[in-house]
Amino acid sequence: MITLISFDNTRFEVLEAAVLLSVINDLVRDRSVEEVRWVLGIIDNGFTVEEEEEIRRENAWAFE
């Protein structure tokens, strides 16, 4: 873990978060929603089939 200490001893783990986000970005870039769920181990998205269909209709651009 990379921790940065400020003048008042507050811990900042910003660099570690940035590295993690970069790794996640590399894993999911140019993948479909289904592939991203698989890569991240997201099996259930918490929506019913009907809710997911409505979301896909309302945000069709995101699923192209």
Per-residue confidence at 12, pLDDT binned at 50, 70, 90? low
3-state secondary structure 53-64: HHHHHHCHHHHC
Q: What is the pLDDT of residues 24-58, one digit of tens each?
A: 999 899 998 889 888 888 888 889 999 999 998 99
| In the chain, where the domains are located | 1-30, 31-64
Nearest-angstrom CA–CA distance, 35 and 17: 23
